[in-house]
Amino acid sequence: MFADLKNDFVFRRIFAQHPMLTAALLNELLTLEGDERIVELALLPPEQAPVVAGAKLSILDLKARDQGGRTYVVEMQLLPVKGFLNRIVYNACKAYVGQLPQARGYRQLQDVMAVSVCDFELWPAAAGPATPVPLVSRWALTEEASGTQDLRQVQYVFVELPKVPKEGLLTRAAERWAWLFKYGEQLKAVPAGLTAAQAQALELANEATFTAEEAEAYRKVEDEIEQARQLAEDAEERGEVRGEARGEARGEILGKAAGLREAMVGLREAIVDVCELLGVELTKQRRAQLDAMEWEALQALRQHLKQHRTWLT
């Protein structure tokens, strides 16, 4: 039985303790070839992770630097949270500018790659552009008119696990990594067709190899993740209920306001009609009195709406 590779304890057991597996993961996710391919990788402490709400589902798992000085910031994200993309950009840019004291000059700054494995869709096919964002997507600054990509100092890679088909392993190594993250815990044996690094990573996730302490740590993280998921679902459900109640109250208030406004217009017209039938002249003074009556009613209406402004936003 294999443990969930998305579990923080398991992810660190595999990749934080085996730099060459991390190098293989990055090489295959980023399709690095030739001089770009990672040969040596030094793992760095992920000290830059900010404290954010939902931290148990938002983990800066790995930070590493390759033989050329390029930095990789790897994160596993289990649930969407507000400001997620902003935080990804923040962490990547912080890793980039953090080199400056050591580099002692802008020309010595090395590229940063932010890799995020997400157990949710960021860009669903139905709501996205005409050409859907793929399972593994790579992002860099592009000049709008020419499409030239020259500002590549900070790049982003996203792996959206819900886009992985369950039917079987995919052909590209990057897609197979995504398949293992999504469905690896359902496997009973190491399947054929994996790279050596993928097979080794899966073997390290075999619960039969866990010590009693490791098994306990794994279960504890699983419980924390489940509790966090439940809290998020409960908060979403409460938000939906409040939204429905607020919508009903807002509709009722606006309905009353419209009714009151319509009644005042009708009353003013009725008074004018009665005056014409009785031959009462509507002098400037009397018209001013009618206008004042309507103005006072409108002011009362505005005050009523102001008291209920929290329901109208």
Q: Per-residue pLDDT tens for 180-195?
A: 999 999 988 998 889 9
**The pTM of the whole model exceeds 0.75:** no
Q: Kindly report the average pLDDT of the chain as a whole number.
A: 80
Total count of residues recorded for the chain: 313
Collapsing DSSP states into helix, strand and coil, what is residue 156?
Answer: strand
For residue 116, what are the CA distances in angstroms to 32, 46, 81, 92, 136? 17, 14, 14, 11, 10
With cut-offs at 50, 70 and 90, classify the pLDDT of residue 245. low
- The mean pLDDT value for 113-126 works out to 90
Question: Which residue's structure tokens are 């902003």?
Answer: 86
Which amino acid is located at 114 in the chain?
A
Distance between CA atoms of 205 and 177, rounded to whole angstroms?
14
Q: What is the 3-state secondary structure (H, E, C) of 206-240?
A: EHHHCCHHHHHHHHHHHHHHHHHHHHHHHHHHHHH
Is residue 67's pLDDT more than 70?
A: yes
With cut-offs at 50, 70 and 90, classify the pLDDT of residue 16. confident
Collapsing DSSP states into helix, strand and coil, what is residue 195?
Answer: coil
* Amino acid 155: pLDDT: 95
Higher pLDDT, 305 or 93: 93
With cut-offs at 50, 70 and 90, classify the pLDDT of residue 107. confident
Q: Per-residue pLDDT tens for 136-145?
A: 999 999 999 9
∠ Cα 73 84 313 (to 5°): 165
For residue 29, what are the CA distances in angstroms to 104, 247, 248? 31, 45, 48
Structure-block tokens of residue 140: 């860099």
Is residue 312's pLDDT more than 60?
A: no
* Amino acid 288: pLDDT: 72
With cut-offs at 50, 70 and 90, classify the pLDDT of residue 279. confident
Q: Per-residue pLDDT tens for 152-177?
A: 999 999 999 999 987 765 678 899 99
Is residue 54's pLDDT more than 50?
A: no
If one counts every other C-beta atom within 10 angstroms of the C-beta of residue 239, the result is 10
For residue 170, what are the CA distances in angstroms to 174, 175, 204, 244? 9, 6, 21, 43
- Quote the percentage of the chain above a pLDDT of 90: 34
Q: What is the 3-state secondary structure (H, E, C) of 245-301?
A: HHHHHHHHHHHHHHHHHHHHHHHHHHHHHHHHHHCCCCCHHHHHHHHHHHHHHHHHH
Higher pLDDT, 304 or 233: 233
With cut-offs at 50, 70 and 90, classify the pLDDT of residue 48. very low
Please provide residue 4's backbone torsions phi and psi, each rounded to the nearest 5 degrees.
Answer: -75, 120
Short-list 63, 78, 59, CA closest to 160: 78
- Quote the percentage of the chain above a pLDDT of 70: 71
* Amino acid 137: pLDDT: 94
